[in-house]
Amino acid sequence: MTTRRRAREVALQVLYEEDINPLREFSVADQFVQKRMLQNKPLVTFALELLYGVRNHRTDIDQVLSKHAANWSLKRMTTIDRNILRISAYEILFGDVPGRVSINEAIELAKRYGSRNSGQFVNGILDRILKEHQKPAEPTAEPPAESEEASPQLAN
């Protein structure tokens, strides 16, 4: 298992608990992340970035999820699926992780922690989000197909 995947798992555990128990102190969650990530600073930082990012952008993330989850309200989704979607949607919308990587990681989490159909469910919603919010690819520095001499020039 990749170490970043483990950080996503820990963030998922905290978000799951916060969904069930919204009155929990955030400091307890921070301590939990520290212990679960064995105080590995880069992994703690990544897990907390996901956690704080989802918390800070939850309203925007939930609006995007609601828009792309055809015939599903967020309340109808399982707590696991909903929070896996939130993590990946955060990465796609606000993070620097490539969208396809985030989706693949979300599918793996869904297969491991969700129901039998969670992987397909998560994939479908996240794929629609990625298609709508995908950043355009950087232009390549290729020479023009035709020479300038062969191109018609417009007169000024």
Q: What is the pLDDT of residues 74-113, one digit of tens each?
A: 999 999 999 999 999 999 999 999 999 999 999 999 999 9
Say if residue 98 is exposed, middle or buried (CB neighbours under 10 Å; 0-12, 13-18, 19+). Answer: middle
Reading the block at residue 153, the tokens are 């020039």
H helices of 3-133, where? 3-20, 26-36, 41-68, 79-94, 99-113, 118-133
Q: How far apart are CA 54 and CA 73, in angstroms?
A: 18
Split at pLDDT 50, 70, 90, the class of 5 is: very high
* pLDDT tens by residue, 103-142: 999 999 999 999 999 999 999 999 999 999 876 554 555 5
Enter the pTM of the model.
0.83
Superfamily for 3-133? NusB-like (1.10.940.10)
Residue 16, sorted as left (phi over 0), alpha (psi -120 to 50) or beta, turns out to be: alpha
What pLDDT is attached to residue 91? 97
